[in-house]
Every structure is written in C-alpha cells, then in structure tokens.
Amino acid sequence: MLSKILSITGRPGLYKLISTNKNLNIVESLADGKRIPVYPQEKVVALSDVSIYTTDGDRPLRDVLKKIKEKEDGRKVNLGSKSPGNELLAYLEEVLPDYSRESVYASDVKKMISWYNVLMENEINLEEEEKEPQIKEEETPDLDEERENTERPEK
C-alpha cells in the first residue's frame, strides 16, 4: 500500500494516489480527504521509495515503520513535533540501532514519526504490496484445441 501513499514537496501531510494520467495525477489528502491535482513538475515521492541510511547501506522506510509499529503496539508515537532533537534521535536508536548518525537528522526522524502517526490514524497497511496473481501455464486454455472441440453450426 505504501506505493500509493505519496509525499509532495511543498505540501504538508501525506496523500493517497487516486488517479494517474499523462498530464496530472489526482491525490487525496489523508488528513482531510480533499482531492487535488498534482502536475508533473511537482516533486512527488512514494513512501515505498523512501529509505533510511544505516551503517550497512539503506533500510526501506516500510521496515522502519514496521519496527515502530511493533514497539508502539500499533498505537501512535507520543513524541510531538516540538520534541527536542536528541529525544527524536534516541527514539530512532531504539527502533533502528544501526542508523547512520552522520546522514540521518532529527528533522528526518520527526517527519518519519509524523508519517507513521498519519498512517496509523488512517489504518494504512504497512505490509508488502500484493502481487498480481500469475496465471499458471496449465491454466491457460489452448486456443487451437478449443477451436477443434467447438461445434460449428451447419449452414
């Protein structure tokens, strides 16, 4: 589901992708449910594409959000937007001990916690996207065989 949840530069909050087109996308605010157009020149990022820097590389945001959910038992995080940076970073260290101290800032953690709270309020599933069911080769009808087996009306 995170592939349809978007962050739009210059706009507060998170948005759900409703419709996509060549010239614009329609998104719905998770905060108030209002639908707005988003044009190609606006910078849009799907939460599924976001990752957190760690000492071993990158960790997908989905994994970090799942760890926060486990820690909080599915409830919202109590740290607010006015929390001091050292508290935010200490919280992240509890959830993701190997985060990169040089690359991750308190403002990043604040945004991540804010996103988590919005996702929990809207009951957004943090699990992997369900893949489209694949048709097995045995299930695909053989068209030549079907043509032979169907009776043709006589003229």
**Residue 83 binned pLDDT confidence (cut-offs 50, 70, 90):** confident
Is residue 154 in some structural domain?
Answer: no
Whether residue 136 has pLDDT greater than 70: no
Do 28 and 74 share a domain, yes or no?
no
- Residue 113 · residue 77 · CB < 8 Å: yes
What is the model's pLDDT at position 101? Answer: 92
Enumerate residues 6+ apart whose C-beta is below 8 A from 48: 2, 3, 5, 60, 61, 62, 129
Is residue 146 in some structural domain?
Answer: no
Do 66 and 108 share a domain, yes or no?
yes
Is residue 110 in some structural domain?
Answer: yes
Burial of 109 from C-beta contacts in 10 A (0-12 / 13-18 / 19+): buried
Q: How far apart are CA 91 and CA 68, in angstroms?
A: 9
What is the model's pLDDT at position 33? Answer: 93
Is residue 143 in some structural domain?
Answer: no
Q: How far apart are CA 117 and CA 81, in angstroms?
A: 11
Do 66 and 122 share a domain, yes or no?
yes
What is the model's pLDDT at position 143? Answer: 45
Do 87 and 68 share a domain, yes or no?
yes
Task: Provide the residue range defining the domain that includes 63.
Answer: 50-128
What is the model's pLDDT at position 125? Answer: 82
More confident residue, 90 or 151: 90
Whether residue 132 has pLDDT greater than 70: no
Do 77 and 119 share a domain, yes or no?
yes
- Residue 14 · residue 47 · CB < 8 Å: yes
What is the model's pLDDT at position 74? Answer: 86
More confident residue, 132 or 70: 70
* The two three-digit tokens of residue 118, written as one number: 């919005």
Segment 22-33 shows an average pLDDT of: 92
Q: Give the pLDDT confidence of 110-120 residue by residue, as tens digits.
A: 999 999 999 99
Of the three residues 29, 49, 69, the one that is the final residue of a domain is 49
Is residue 19 in some structural domain?
Answer: yes
What is the model's pLDDT at position 25? Answer: 93
What is the model's pLDDT at position 142? Answer: 47
Is residue 151 in some structural domain?
Answer: no
What is the model's pLDDT at position 130? Answer: 47
Segment 84-97 shows an average pLDDT of: 93
Q: What is the CATH number of the domain that holds 118?
A: 1.10.10.1650
Tally of domains within the chain: 2
Do 55 and 44 share a domain, yes or no?
no
